[in-house]
Amino acid sequence: MRRAIDNAVVWDGERVIERGSIGIEDEYIVALTDRPDGRFAADERVDAEGRLAIPGLINAHTHLYGSLARGLSLPEYGPRTFTQILEQLWWKLDKALDDSSVTTSALIGAMEAARCGVTSLIDHHASPNAIPGSLDRVRDAVCRRVGLRAALGYEVSDRDGEERAALGIEENARFLSTLDPQDRLWSAHFGLHASFTLGDRTLAAAAAAIPDGAGIHIHVAEGPEDERDCVDHHGLRIVERLDRFGLLRPRSILAHCLHVDRGEKDRIAERDAIVVHNPRSNMNNAVGTFDLAGFLDRGVVAGLGTDGLGANLLAELFTAGLAQRQTRQDALAGTFPQLDRLLFRNNPAIVERTFGVRAGRLAPGAAADVAVLDYVAPTPLNADNVLGHLLFGVAVHAFRVHDLYVAGRPILRGGAFVDIDEQAEYARAREEAGRLWKRIA
């Protein structure tokens, strides 16, 4: 199938092209031109009518399993620490998930991601009472029904006992073994919850089960208690502990890393592991400030995620800048070049490592992952100020994705899902959420 998107203001990740035309063949972009006479011969042409076309956005750390928590109120809720937030909310919710609500949570979360222009996401899943086959359910909902690119992993943990830790290891190993190198729409990590809920026996079993080229996906030093626990129980810091098990790898994703020290940052850089920053979640949980400059200056592939708190990566990036400025009391902190690296350089690098496709560029050879935004600039827009438009124009106002393509497949057209009845799925989700909430109460 050959498609063309004509008359778009194209930001290809580097340049801005007025009245650009993007040519897509099957899963890849094959042409980009601003010459009306040089347009790609396509079976189907769509007129973008001057809208802004950008590379599809990437969420490098999320939890789709939390999608049905919105509006849930828990009578006893009153956490004083990060661990209490987990105990009083997230570990109650994940235990109540069954096969059906795992699917519905993933479907709703993926639909909302699509509406935010997300074409690739990396999910960290937990459903301790519905582990076997859960990653297949999430993949079927996210990649096959909605059509997004997704990498999945199950959060192995000792918090629910030995049997569930073993089932989690089995689920990751099984899912990794089913990866199809020809299918670039889905991938996998070996998911691990966090150092403070993983004993050495479980970590050793995970290290023995993870295939050579694969990476882990784990929370690292999100709250201060994670490092304290590691030093108290294991006599070393978290990054060092993971390294002893051979788990710091180029495909490994370490989410948060708020309380790691200098030596740990050096070790992450040395091993070329990935770090993912989630500023809105960190602020919501009051857990600490990310050392943005410290990671970027070391050359660490530091990307951006939402940690399940929505899927609006542009608002997340805007907040990343605010958080740096506010906490450091420095109006020059969180610079545009730093923010650009998080979402538009490093997140695409994470996708390349994870899925083996070129992302973050609208260029021949790159994945045909494209978001066409209902944004018409009221001031001049060019390659030098496009981030200003995305952050201070798109992110802070109501924004709507007009069309979305993932691997060349149209997911949204004219602001509506092509293959999904959104109203019907939302009605089903409200019923599912009602049943889920009753199991928690």
Chain residues binding Zn ion by CB under 5 A are 307
Cβ proximity to Zn ion: between 285 and 346 the closer is 285
The residue among 145 and 193 lying less far from Zn ion, judged by its C-beta, is: 193
Looking at the Cβ atoms of 63 and 137, the one nearer to Zn ion is: 63
Backbone torsions φ then ψ of 363, nearest 5 degrees: -145, 150
Measured over the CA atoms of residue 395, residue 400, residue 402 and residue 407, the dihedral's sign is: positive
- Give least dist CB 37 to Zn ion, A: 50
158 with 91: CB under 8 angstroms? no
Q: Could you tell me which residues are beta bridge partners of residue 121?
A: 59, 150
Backbone φ and ψ for 65, nearest 5 degrees, come out as -65, -15
Shorter beta-carbon distance to Zn ion: residue 116 or 192: 192
Strands 149-154 and 416-417, bridge-based pairing: unpaired
Helices (H), 189-300: 200-209, 224-234, 238-244, 262-271, 279-285, 292-297
**Beta carbon nearer to Zn ion, 264 or 307:** 307
Task: Considering the complex, state which of residue 307 and residue 432 has its C-beta at the smaller distance from Zn ion.
Answer: 307
Q: Compute the least distance from the CB of residue 157 to Zn ion, in Å.
A: 13
- Please report how close the Cβ of residue 278 comes to Zn ion at its closest, in angstroms: 7
> Are 239 and 212 spatial neighbours (Cβ–Cβ below 8 Å)?
no
Q: CA end-to-end span of the chain, whole Å?
A: 50
Q: How far is the CB of 268 from Zn ion (least distance, A)?
A: 17
Cα–Cα distance, 5 to 78 (Å, whole number): 51
Q: Which residue is nearest to Zn ion (CB)?
A: 307
Kind and range of the H or E element at 431?
A: helix 422-440
- H/E element holding 219? strand 216-220
Q: Helix, strand, or coil here: 346? A: helix
| Least spacing, CB of residue 305 vs Zn ion, in Å | 8
Q: Which CB atom, from 308 or from 393, has the smaller least distance to Zn ion?
A: 308
Q: How many CB atoms lie within 10 A of CB 250?
A: 12
Residue 89 identity (one-letter amino acid):
L
d(C-alpha 225, C-alpha 90), whole Å: 17
Minimal CA–CA distance to 241: which of 257, 230, 228? 230
Which C-beta is closer to Zn ion: that of 219 or that of 251? 219
Return the number of the residue (81 or 335) whose C-beta is nearest Zn ion.
81
SS3 content of the chain, % helix, strand, coil (to 5): 45, 20, 35
